[in-house]
Amino acid sequence: MTLDYALLSTLFIVGLIGSGHCIGMCGGIVAALGSNKPSLVLLLGYNIGRLLSYSLAGAIAAGLVVGLAGERYQTLIPLLRTLAGVMIVLMGLYIAGWWRVLTRLEQLGQIVWRQIQPLVQRLGKPSNAAQSVAAGMLWGWLPCGLVYSALSQALLSNSPAMGALAMLAFGLGTLPAMLAAGWFSSQLARWLQSPALRKVMGLCLIFMGLLMIWQMQQSTGHGHH
């Protein structure tokens, strides 16, 4: 497996920039862990489980694309890169609150979530590390536009293993804010979700997405020449 460091760093940055959105989406973490300030063990367990689910989703997504495309995979890369850039732009617009078109994608994700939700309810409130990891793995499938945007990047992976690593990099980008907001300060969580900061985060993602699309167009243009 060849490591795509550009892809890994891009997804880490996307996770870092979009982590305020993660806090809003995963607000159920407090209810899931059963206290206003969960123990560090439970919080770490939850986030480890969440990252495992992201990695599994990345492996599945990359495996499907590579498997279905076969030898034509390389010819699809320009299209996949453009799609990934568009998804990042849409996510930026979503986070900034300017256009929430990705809510439609999240509604499609509800199809999977409805199958998983009964397991979340059956698990109840985790009381140990193993249960919190299991809870994180289940909650990791919560419909989320940011995760779907990251998955569009993972489609650029040339193997399931690289797809898993790509989504792990994204998850690691979200980790600092999730841990800090969950353990150290609810004030930080509120600040990360403030409208002004969300607009700044949204603009950063829009810039990243447009840059990806521009770079793809430039490389395609040179390829034609």
Each residue's pLDDT tens digit, 63-93:
999 999 988 998 999 999 999 999 999 999 9
Which has more confidence, 178 or 151?
A: 151
What is the length of the chain? 225
Task: Using a cut of 0.85, tell me whether the model's pTM lies above it.
Answer: yes
Q: What is the pLDDT of residue 180?
A: 78
Each residue's pLDDT tens digit, 157-169:
989 999 999 999 9
- Return mean pLDDT, the chain: 87
Q: Of 16, 56, 41, give the one whose Cα is nearest residue 140.
A: 56
Which has more confidence, 31 or 153?
A: 153
Per-residue pLDDT, averaged over 124-129, amounts to 87
Q: What is the pLDDT of residue 27?
A: 58
Per-residue pLDDT, averaged over 120-139, amounts to 91
